[in-house]
Amino acid sequence: MATGVHSFSAFHLRNFHRFQHHISKRPSGNFSKAVDFGNPSREPQNRRSFSHKTMSNLDQAKTIAAEKAVHEYVKDKMCLGVGSGSTVALAVRVLADKIHKEKLHVICIPTSFQARQLILENNLILGDLNSHPKLDVAIDGADECDANLTLIKGGGGCLAQEKVVASCAEQFIVIADHTKKSSKLGEKWSKGVPIEVLPCGYTPVANKIQELFGGVAELRMAKMKAGPVVTDNGNFILDWKFSTDKIFDWEKTNTAIKMIPGVVETGLFVGMAKKAYFGMEDGSVSTI
């Protein structure tokens, strides 16, 4: 029995030395990363500093717009609505840098599952509208913004929650790149006005919109799944492609569409935005 124990120990001793030799050959950084079980004092990976040089031109434009808006509107001890979409994904990085560096206490209210994840991944304080129904500021992107600050939103399918959050804010601020700035709606955004609808009634709603306002209202189909896009609220989306030759009173149009049974919300944001920041091609920021 003793021989067996000695033989067993020698076997493991030889393998232990081999393991030590193997580890000594590996770069220390890789090994330390492999055994890192999470140190709360470390900076979250998502908060690594980023450079404009590594971004596309449009991402640079979105980022400089976000930097301007965050610098001017985000203050200590405030409740902030956090929008959704590609521009806001960049803006949250700017927001996190400011909050952590300046040690601000900011409660962030998400407008979507995406926004919620961005808040958590960047180690920000997550809240909700039921606990914080009054917001100081909401910052969100737009698919298009005209000269009157009338917006089309909902390209990412989050229009209903985005509008609820924006309506709860004292100041609703829009950030976007220069391709979203237009003199009138439909000038640059050709995918139509998103309209969130109950799944049981998307066909009669589409027919009614076309009957009242013309154009074509199409059910938005998913790209990575079979069937239609389903919102965070479990609804469908119609994209109403209106005639750009026709002049619309967008406030009346928005109200009329919302009165159609089966409509949950529209992607028309009329009279809600206080200010819009657009990152321009030359690196400047234009405002409305």
Residues 98 and 74 sit within 8 Å (Cβ to Cβ): yes
Q: Which helix (H) or strand (E) holds 252?
A: helix 250-258
Q: Residue 151 — left, alpha, or beta (φ > 0 → left; ψ -120 to 50 → alpha)?
A: beta
CA 20 to chain centre: 47
Is 67 among the catalytic positions?
no
DSSP state of 261: T
Q: Of 67, 144, 162, 196, which one is the catalytic site residue?
A: 162
Are 1 and 8 a contacting pair, CB within 8 Å? Answer: no
Please give the sequence-ordered ranges of beta strands (E in DSSP) within the chain, or none if there are none: 78-82, 106-110, 125-126, 135-140, 144-145, 151-152, 169-177, 193-197, 216-219, 236-241, 263-266, 268-269, 275-279, 285-287
113-121 and 86-102 helices, crossing angle to 10°: 30
User: Do 226 and 146 touch, CB atoms closer than 8 A?
Assistant: no
For residue 42, how many other CB atoms are within 10 A of its CB? 9
3-class DSSP state of 102: helix
Active site residues: 162
